[in-house]
Structure 1
């Protein structure tokens, strides 16, 4: 800056450097840029003094000059006054960070606007209004809370001197929800372009775990999966034989399945959805199956041992007094042969043949010779070679003599009698509904004596499974057919007739002798209480035979079968006995 003595007629003259304008004042007191007329001596003295102040201020910097110039012109440091000079200088002035008080004030206004759903007002209090408006609008649409309360909790530790932060708590209440959704978050405050304190917008303002590209919304939860429990409420997950069974168990008719709702955070690419809060949990009525988890564990292990080497096997345990299925195991997995297979049961069928013979006039003590071979006209033989002409019906049963049953059956029974007794008194051939899909037993009408002879000893075209034969053992033990069920609400089939009490008593005696003195004595050894058993061996026409075994001990009946397992008292007998020992009747 330079000072020059003014020419005649001027009151004073001051020229600033290139960053400032010249200022002169006319004699009449009006200020203009450019030339000036003469002024009075008093005016000249004032301007000379001001000019001296200007010179001093230039020595200490422009900020002081800015204030003084504005003051002289009647301006305001914060507003820039009304002159051009003040406006230019204000735009270039450095901004100070928001104070804690300013941060708290803008946070309060922002949270209030957000809480009442005024997204326009809330977004206007941010440094990115358009982005904030879209995000807040989406939040209100996708998270339809009945009430939304947002309360400041004071300065947050995440803040800095340049960007103070304010903590706040969100509480959202929803129609039908079991509780309110509450969480804590923070927001930062900065100076906006206008110089005002505003909220620095970021996705985390909505929720601390929300990132770029993420969304928050109330969504329906997947349909609840029924997880049936055993009869004592114990879980049944983890059993190989039940893995494919349990998902098929549905709640009873009329019971309601509730699909839940949750606030879900969906992240950006590659991030799995996250449940932030469950509004209403999904629920399905608990279904208690008749299974016993402890007995199921033993059955699984027993089948696993006998199926070693790839031999298909299965086992079913039934409670005679109720018909409840207590255990159901099979191998390999994928096909439930325990209730869905169909195959001949071998000599375990002699229980039903004996029931028919006893009702046809034969007694347990009736002599029924056990020949080495017999013909129907097809030739038949026994596992135990030799002729035993003095064997009674009980002896034939306990030693599993094929020829004695064939001869006496062809003599005493009419075609179709075996199927009728099986259906009317043992329930085989009726349509069963156990709670899952199962295969019903079939005992076809024999076309000739060869087919009849085969059926009397459990071979030929008879098709049963472990479920059906466990029911046969249970019917003998209790004297009454009770259709096996896996769940209480299953619709049971009722047998048209009833096993005569005397016949049931005779059968129990015959099965008891088989368990203690006959072909079943080895696997049944050591078992006490009311016991009974019958072995079965099925010739397949190849090199191997299939092993069958049915038995009971007190109020527990079991049937097991092992393809290629050999004689009935070996593979199947061992598996069945393991379950009987664990069940303790």
Structure 2
């Protein structure tokens, strides 16, 4: 047997092992419904699925594989009716499968399933997009999950828009044509071009810059495949360029070298986001995300920040004179507030230690036990807004969320002291909080200079009270030093002018808390978040399994080394 024949057999055995039968379509632009899929029309798999119509209990691996096979074959054949009948939402699925052909202009598609993982089946789509005589290839990976249908017990594809494309969200659509906004050529502070190919996580940022400034920079549109957002004010997310347009140019305050370091950092962890800002100017130096959904969580996320919020809480307590960095503060194992018991990680306690130690070791009870002395549930929200700019209308140059610390009461007010409850933040907000603590003055973060388009930036009514910034910096340095919760990540960061704060935030319905980290070195402040990353190093014992050290160090040490910073 010759080598080619042997290779063909081995390849066939491999595909059989991983379930990789490819379903191909060569006439998607024609009538739907035929048997155009390689390997049959999926009728056998559909029969297997139908035989389980009255079954109960968990979906079996055999059922999941058969249902996925039938669905992918029908989709590949362009049979939107048949594909939709194999899902939990026939109306939405039928519209999406039909739109794949008519809206995205897919003229050919080969869909190859991968190795099932229980009831989840990954697959690869290799398609061709054709529009007015131009054809370009498009390849991506997605996955589907099979569940038991309500009432019938039949195994069905749990319908989600992401089945069609992993970045599709509810009410979004794939579209091919000539977009309204011309492309833009974004450059960094030194005039170096920033592309989505070189900096993949910048794609949503570049899309937002295009929507905001595309028509103002003199460019002309080409032909593209994009994701049409559900909200009218959201930017289109470009996926593929078929015909190049003429871009206009927009200058940002990003730094290409810093961005490269941030991209490398987030690539290590799924669902990770990081932002770096310059405290002396408010310039955003880098924005990076590593997410399947393509969402710019670094600037638009809304998550509880956990103990990184203690920077703001500490500032409020210091301003009110309730604590001082070197004054003793109780840190019991637990504390109760209006019927709810709060505790420290692993129920640790500290006795006779200064408040700075409670901050460095992230003692929850030391903060919450002081709520009665403050006697004002609006105190924390006021300081967050008036001194740290949280909740003001930030105008960074692209859409962003500027954080929220609402006035609450009861246990919810106590939870806000440690960054839980109703508080919502993202890495941009936390990086800005660290920058404000570093300098004592809020400078609204910007991605594009306000002088470019004359927009008015948000400004706080006041600076931090005298001496508060110095105490915050001292406590953050202690948190980054021996015995502090951030010691693991910051140990490799050179020099003594460095500080940090770790955090973890419980999220309803999540199996693991979100991980947070923020810190400064020189004239760089950075914040990072990993959704579902686990505890954020609230004790040294909990640090080891937490992955943030490999994210935080590039976000602080590398970024600081790459940025040309003025004297603070």
**2:485 alignment partner in structure 1:** 519
Query: Which has the greater radius of gyration?
Result: 1
Name which of structure 1's ranges 455-464 and 244-253 shifts more when overlaid on structure 2. 244-253
1:577 paired to 2:553 = yes
TM-score by length of 1: 0.56
Q: Size of the alignment, in residue pairs?
A: 344
2:259 is aligned, of 296, 299, 307, to 296
2:189 is aligned, of 231, 237, 246, to 231
Partner SS state of residue 267, structure 2: helix
**2:456 alignment partner in structure 1:** 491
How far is the alpha carbon of 1:282 from its aligned partner? 5.2
1:539 paired to 2:506 = yes
Contact 2:182 2:215 in 1 (8 A): no
**Cα distance in 2, alignment partners of residues 560 and 364 from structure 1:** 25
Contact 1:340 1:437 in 2 (8 A): yes
Q: 1:349-364 maps to which residues of 2 (within 5 A)? A: 349-361=309-321, 362-364=323-325
**Cα distance in 2, alignment partners of residues 525 and 466 from structure 1:** 22
How far is the alpha carbon of 1:528 from its aligned partner? 2.5
Q: After superposition, what is the alpha-carbon deviation per residue over 1:442-486, rounded to whole angstroms, capped at 9, x for unaligned?
A: 1111122x1111000000110111110010011111221111111
Q: After superposition, what is the alpha-carbon deviation per residue over 1:312-351, rounded to whole angstroms, capped at 9, x for unaligned?
A: 2211111111111111111214211111110110000000
How far is the alpha carbon of 1:499 from its aligned partner? 1.1
**Cα distance in 2, alignment partners of residues 338 and 246 from structure 1:** 14
Q: 1:191-210 maps to which residues of 2 (within 5 A)? A: none
How far is the alpha carbon of 1:543 from its aligned partner? 3.8
**Cα distance in 2, alignment partners of residues 260 and 463 from structure 1:** 37
Contact 1:444 1:461 in 2 (8 A): yes
Q: 1:223 to 1:314 in 2, by over 3 A?
A: closer
TM-score by length of 2: 0.57
**1:452 alignment partner in structure 2:** 413
1:557 is aligned, of 503, 509, 525, to 525
Q: 1:414 to 1:300 in 2, by over 3 A?
A: same
Contact 2:388 2:433 in 1 (8 A): yes
Partner SS state of residue 529, structure 2: strand
How far is the alpha carbon of 1:501 from its aligned partner? 3.6
Q: 1:324-335 maps to which residues of 2 (within 5 A)? A: 324-332=283-291, 333-335=293-295
Q: 1:526 to 1:282 in 2, by over 3 A?
A: closer
How far is the alpha carbon of 1:299 from its aligned partner? 1.0
- Structure 1, unmatched stretches of 5+, are 1-219, 262-272, 276-280
Q: After superposition, what is the alpha-carbon deviation per residue over 1:369-421, rounded to whole angstroms, capped at 9, x for unaligned?
A: 11011101201110143332212211110000001100013322411100000
**Cα distance in 1, alignment partners of residues 324 and 481 from structure 2:** 20
Partner SS state of residue 567, structure 1: coil
Q: 1:42-441 maps to which residues of 2 (within 5 A)? A: 224-237=182-195, 238=197, 239-250=199-210, 257=218, 284=248, 286-307=249-270, 312-332=271-291, 333-361=293-321, 362-376=323-337, 377-441=339-403
**Cα distance in 2, alignment partners of residues 543 and 501 from structure 1:** 42
Contact 2:394 2:444 in 1 (8 A): yes
> Cα RMSD over matched residues?
2.7
**2:70 alignment partner in structure 1:** none
Q: After superposition, what is the alpha-carbon deviation per residue over 1:506-539, rounded to whole angstroms, capped at 9, x for unaligned?
A: 0000000000120000100121331110010112
**Cα distance in 1, alignment partners of residues 548 and 352 from structure 2:** 30
Q: 1:331 to 1:258 in 2, by over 3 A?
A: closer
- Structure 2, unmatched stretches of 5+, are 1-177, 223-241, 538-545, 562-568
* Higher RCO (C-alpha 8 Å, min separation 6): 2
Partner SS state of residue 228, structure 1: strand
Q: After superposition, what is the alpha-carbon deviation per residue over 1:34-82, rounded to whole angstroms, capped at 9, x for unaligned?
A: xxxxxxxxxxxxxxxxxxxxxxxxxxxxxxxxxxxxxxxxxxxxxxxxx
How far is the alpha carbon of 1:358 from its aligned partner? 0.4
How far is the alpha carbon of 1:306 from its aligned partner? 1.8
Q: After superposition, what is the alpha-carbon deviation per residue over 1:114-164, rounded to whole angstroms, capped at 9, x for unaligned?
A: xxxxxxxxxxxxxxxxxxxxxxxxxxxxxxxxxxxxxxxxxxxxxxxxxxx
Q: 1:387 to 1:583 in 2, by over 3 A?
A: closer
